[in-house]
Amino acid sequence: MAARERVAIVGVGYSTIGRRTGLTLDHLTAQASVAAMADAGIGSRDIDGVAVHSFPHQYVGATPTADLLGIPDLAYYSGSVDGAAYSVAAMHGYSAVASGSCHTCITIRTVHQAGAAGGVIPMQALAASGPRQFLYPYGSFTGAHWAGMYMRRHMHEYGTTEEHFGHFAMAQRDYASRNPDALFRDPLTMEDYLSSRYVTKPLHLLDCDYPVDSSSALIFTTEERARDMAKKPVFIDASAAGTTDVNDFHLVEDMTHSSPWRAARTMWSRTDLTPADVQVAGLYDGFTFIAMQWLEALGFCGEGESGPFVAEGNTRPGGIIPTNTDGGACNVGRRHGANFYIEVTRQLRGECGDRQVPGARVGVVSNAVGGFAGCALLTAD
Amino acid sequence: MNAAEGSDPQPVLPAPDELTRFFWDGAGRGRLMAQRCSACGRYQHPPRPVCPACHSFSLEPAEMSGRAVLYSWTVGSQAFHPWFESRLPYLLAVVELEEQRNLRLVTNLVEVEEADVEIGMPLEVTFEHLAPGVDLPVFRPAGVR
């Protein structure tokens, strides 16, 4: 289906980021949105769409957000709680502008540190209902519990080692050391990685993203409007979601080929670009292995080969595909996918200072794993 | 993360509903149950109101053999609930039942040391008594008894 409008990202912004900032969800949302509008050089009256993705227990509504920001009239809005984190808001914003449902859509992901793993873990819970009755009694409470099993399965099928995951963590920490906004900037050694405690062996603490309070906002608009805004437009060349037959992350048919493979296949079917054209990647690292599954799914390395691929330095500066140049969510803190869209946008604008990928014009971004995923190809003229 | 003062940590108990009661009732009688579609014969777990393959709403409880193979596993190394503090490390697993390809459930591995766990190993169901009337289907290496 051809899009009616070519869609551009024209503004990006973050809130205050940190552990227990004391700021409300609305406050964080407003900070990020105001920053994104300032970046685009527009005001709230220039916006007619809002797409927010949030957790049910940390709900941020789209229409209340319009009120919060002084957006007078929404032609399109979406408040979603289901699926692949920020990429859902991006998918809604992109689709709304491409279809003409609105002309300029602000897309938002706001998270509070507590309970950001997808639900407040009921430490004192004595009973588990719904799908949790088949998980909690066995001690599967968090994403880390399925993540350890995804890693173990990859190790079994392909000979991947804990050190391979460590190489990915080290490579993105090196980028973080060049990002003044990263929360972790000291170099990481393999010894540091391997000696970080196990959460769900083989998953180490340093495989996990860092929970923070954060809000991220990106503004999507039409090409015609984008040309009149403050920053160089970054275009969405292709976008796709993907899901698996079985929604429960524990029970997906193939842990080493979950939803990223489906989203990637659909995305590549919608573009003339190929993996060889991509110069920079922002791949979701809620856990390190997720970014590595994306490296395979997107075709940057062979099936099952992400371990040796990262160990050889191919995601580092000058490598085949510089990846997570902001340091990833392990180092900048959990933005639930939005940081990849923002960082790659900044890369394609040439704003990334010491960590800039020279001459980057094509980038890829991705979000989530398991039951649902989303990805997009971004380009600059 | 401690339970209320002066009391021992209690397990997280399943809260059965109309859809899932047969599974837990079966477990209480030492049987591993799954939902079977009366129309097309497909098994599914966890229970749902409809068969996603043929869209029949006629679904019946069926007893499984309890034989399975290990699909993947991890070691619970950190307690996210007080009950698990004294049980660390515990073995969390996804197993595939022999009745149907991809018919899987989340469970614990018992009666096996971490060093002896291997993906693909044959397993059999056994039951852990959690509370009066509440038994948890868990899996151990096949043929150890």
B75–A141 C-beta distance less than 8 A: no
Interface A:B, Cβ pairs < 8 A: 123
pLDDT tens digits, B77-99: 999 899 999 999 999 999 999 99
Band the pLDDT of A123: cuts 50, 70, 90: low
Confidence of residue B119 (pLDDT cuts 50, 70, 90): very high
Asked whether the beta carbons of residue B74 and residue A203 sit closer than 8 angstroms, the reply is yes
Number of neighbouring beta carbons within 10 Å of residue B48: 11
Predicted confidence band at A279 (pLDDT cuts at 50, 70, 90)? very high
Name the residue among B13, B72, B78 with its Cβ closest to that of A152: B72
| Mutation for B interface: A133, A154, A195, most B CBs within 10 A | A133
Do B78 and A139 make contact, defined as CB atoms within 8 angstroms? no
Each residue's pLDDT tens digit, A143-169 = 999 999 999 999 999 999 999 999 999
Chain B CA closest to residue A131 = B46
Nearest to A149 among B1, B14, B72 (CB): B72
Helices A143-158 and A288-297, axial angle in degrees (round to 10): 50
Quick check: A73 contacting B, CB < 8 Å? no
Amino acid symbol at A35 = A
Whether chain B has a CB inside 8 Å of the CB on A206: the answer is no
The per-residue pLDDT for A1 is 44
Side-chain-side CA neighbours of residue A137 (13 Å) = 25
Confidence band of A4 (pLDDT split at 50, 70, 90): confident
Q: Which of B7, B19, B80 to mutate to test the interface with A (most CBs of A within 10 A)?
A: B80
Query: Quick check: A121 pLDDT over 70?
Result: no
* Token pair 């998980």 in the structure block, residue: A135
Type of residue numbered A194? L
pLDDT tens digits for range A244-264: 999 999 999 999 999 999 999
B29–chain A nearest CA distance, Å:
18
Cα distance between residue A166 and residue B32, in whole Å: 40
How large is the average pLDDT for residues A33-38? 98
CB atoms within 10 A of CB A201: 20
Mean pLDDT of chain B: 94
Which pLDDT value is given to residue A115? 55
Look up residue A233 and give its two tokens. Answer: 């437009």
DSSP H helical segments within A21-85, as ranges? 25-40, 62-69
Determine whether A341 is exposed, middle or buried from the number of CB atoms within 10 Å of its CB (0-12, 13-18, 19+): buried
Any A CB within 8 A of B81 CB:
yes
Band (A126; pLDDT cuts 50, 70, 90): confident
pLDDT at A17 over 70: yes
pLDDT digits (tens, 9 = 90+) for A170-198: 999 999 999 999 999 999 999 999 999 99
Residue B3 has a CB neighbour count (10 Å cut-off) of 16
Instruction: Name A280's Cβ contacts closer than 8 Å, sequence gap at least 6.
Output: A321, A322, A323, A325, A344, A347, A348, A357, A360, A362, A363, A364
Nearest to A169 by CA among A180, A184, A159: A184
Predicted confidence at residue A117, as pLDDT, reads 46
DSSP code for A197: P
Of residues A153, A199, A202, nearest to B78 (C-beta):
A199
A116 pLDDT tier (thresholds 50, 70, 90): very low
Per-residue pLDDT tens over the stretch A322-371: 999 999 999 999 999 999 999 999 999 999 999 999 999 999 999 999 99
Helix, strand, coil percentages (3-state) for chain A, rounded to 5, are: 40, 20, 40
* Nearest neighbour of B46 by CB, restricted to A124, A134, A136: A134
The residue of chain B nearest to residue A132, with distances taken between CA atoms, is B14
